[in-house]
Amino acid sequence: MDGSQAKFSFEDAAVEPVAVRRFLAENPDFLRRDEGLLADLGLKIAPDNVVDFAPAALARVHAAHQREAEQRHLIEETARANFAAQAQTHGAVVDLLEARNNSDLARRVNDLARQRFGLAAGVIALENEGKPPAGWKHLVEGQVDLILGGPDQIARMGFAPTALGLFGADAGEVRSMAMVRMAIWEPSRQGLLAFGSADPEGFTPDMGAELVAFLARVVERTAERWPHL
């Protein structure tokens, strides 16, 4: 077939790599004579009339390197953020273990939320027929299930309108929450450890709740020093 008369119709042939390769092999002048197509592909004709793929190859290598560098930077940033969060959490544990009573424990939860994590508030809530310990938020029976979204839910991340009441006077600042179920004392009483953020993206549903759950376990064990009647 004369290269000058070669035609490639998308209607007459399946646009598959094999078909394209066969067409170019049978019509070598098709690519060499189309300067616009060569430019679009990032190719050029070398002095010996051979198509030079070096620019395109270098561009692909550069793009791959750029993507790799961006991914590496993202991984490093995530690792640093996780390390900082863990370090702050470990410091928070020490603060909680130094509580002198349940009222002091609630104060420390709110303080570490604000001072260590830059949040709007931290709250301990308890389902109880009578009054909870001073500084704790009182909940009625079944309210923990309502806030978390069901009896099988251990944690909830994101914004939950039903949880705004936990934060009292600070509720107006809260745009997202991290909440973990607790079981305190014997017989077990349902409770919540809740943190509120002023940032709508501070806590999102796709985030893991492991660090918050860890703090909840610390609060549980610490509160058990002072059984509440």
Which domains are delineated in the chain?
100-223 (3.30.450.40)
- Residue 224: name the closest of 175, 172, 185, 177 by CA: 185
- Residue 125: name the closest of 84, 168, 158 by CA: 168
Mean pLDDT for 124-141 is 92
Lowest mean pLDDT among 41-45, 187-191, 216-220: 41-45
Q: What is the pLDDT of residue 4?
A: 45
Whole-structure pTM value: 0.64
Mean pLDDT for 132-144 is 94
Q: Identify the band that residue 75 occupies on the pLDDT scale cut at 50, 70 and 90.
A: confident
Mean pLDDT for 130-139 is 92
Q: Please provide the average confidence, as pLDDT, over all residues in the chain.
A: 83
d(CA 213, CA 189): 17
**Which amino acid is present at 61?**
V
